[in-house]
Amino acid sequence: MTAAEHLNVASIGPTIEFDNVSLTLGRTAILDNVSFQVQPGSIHALVGPNGGGKSSLIKTLLGQTPHQGQLSLHWPGATGTIGYVPQALEFDRGLPMTVDDFMAAMCQRRPAFLGLSRHYAGAIGEALERVGMQDKRKRRMGALSGGERQRVLLAQGLIPAPQLLVLDEPMSALDEAGIQVFERLLSDWRQAGITVLWIEHDLEAVGRLADRVTGLNRRVLFDATPKQALTPERLLTLFSTHPRSTAQ
């Protein structure tokens, strides 16, 4: 059903093209000739074991690593906005920073201690409403549960409205209600034609929600639709090999 819907939507997100992208930090090869494409307007999941280079690949996409190879974004129009939701952010319990302060610091140009900018207040309110955090805006970030904090991070990724959304394990800390919120957001993004690159551990969720899935363990092990990719044999090779020892 989602695929049929997807065809009717004009995608506003970019195509992401990884062409022989390699990354070596020190003497550790983190990415080895990674080549795949993320289709515009699709929800592309990235799976793989810990230390397999998923987060490094995202950092590379955000231009934060000294990679080799060609990595390009083909935008349908002018260069658009990239939203990024990190895996987790640590906050001291006593840090006097409320959800509103955090959203202001992330979204507006005006310093957060001067209060919420009127220009962004509406968008921030709407984003917090979408993740169900509207009634906890005055709570301290450190006092939130892990799932609530994850929802705030999700809301932060919605402002300004992105055309490409990069999610680093957004569901890892979410509770049951939060997962429902996330799935609703995901279908909204699909409707809007946004390209979503999504790192996920929950293979059941990937099979249910993603359009395409790439298995990454230092190099690309497979790149296919979830139905083709998530077979027991493929998952065994993805999660059981030790590429560093075989490489030596």
Stretch binding another protein (CB under 8 A), from 62-70, 138-146, 172-180, 205-213: 62-70
| C-alpha count within 13 angstroms, C-beta hemisphere, residue 230 | 20
| Least separation in angstroms between CB 11 and another protein | 9
Q: Does 225 bind another protein (CB under 8 A)?
A: no
According to DSSP, the β-strands at 212-217 and 43-47 are parallel
Give the dihedral sign, CA 112/175/92/157. Answer: negative
Candidates 77, 94, 122, 232; binder of another protein (CB under 8 A) is 77
Q: Does 20 bind another protein (CB under 8 A)?
A: no
Distance CA 139, CA 185 (A): 23
Distance CA 204, CA 93 (A): 33
Candidates 51, 76, 207, 243; binder of another protein (CB under 8 A) is 76
Distance CA 95, CA 56 (A): 29
Give 65 or 241: the residue with its C-beta nearer to another protein: 65
Q: Which residue has the tokens 């990454």?
A: 216
Q: Does 232 bind another protein (CB under 8 A)?
A: no
Note whether 198 and 18 are within 8 A (CB).
Answer: no
21-60 positions binding another protein, by CB under 8 A: 40, 60
Candidates 73, 131, 213, 230; binder of another protein (CB under 8 A) is 73
| Least separation in angstroms between CB 52 and another protein | 20
With left for phi above 0 and alpha for psi between -120 and 50, is residue 63 left, alpha or beta?
Answer: left
Q: Does 81 bind another protein (CB under 8 A)?
A: no
| Least separation in angstroms between CB 92 and another protein | 29
| Least separation in angstroms between CB 68 and another protein | 7
CA proximity to 62, closest of 51, 52, 73:
73
Q: How many residues does the chain have?
A: 248
Q: Does 212 bind another protein (CB under 8 A)?
A: no
Can you give the binding site for another protein, defined by CB under 8 A? 14-15, 40, 60-68, 70-79
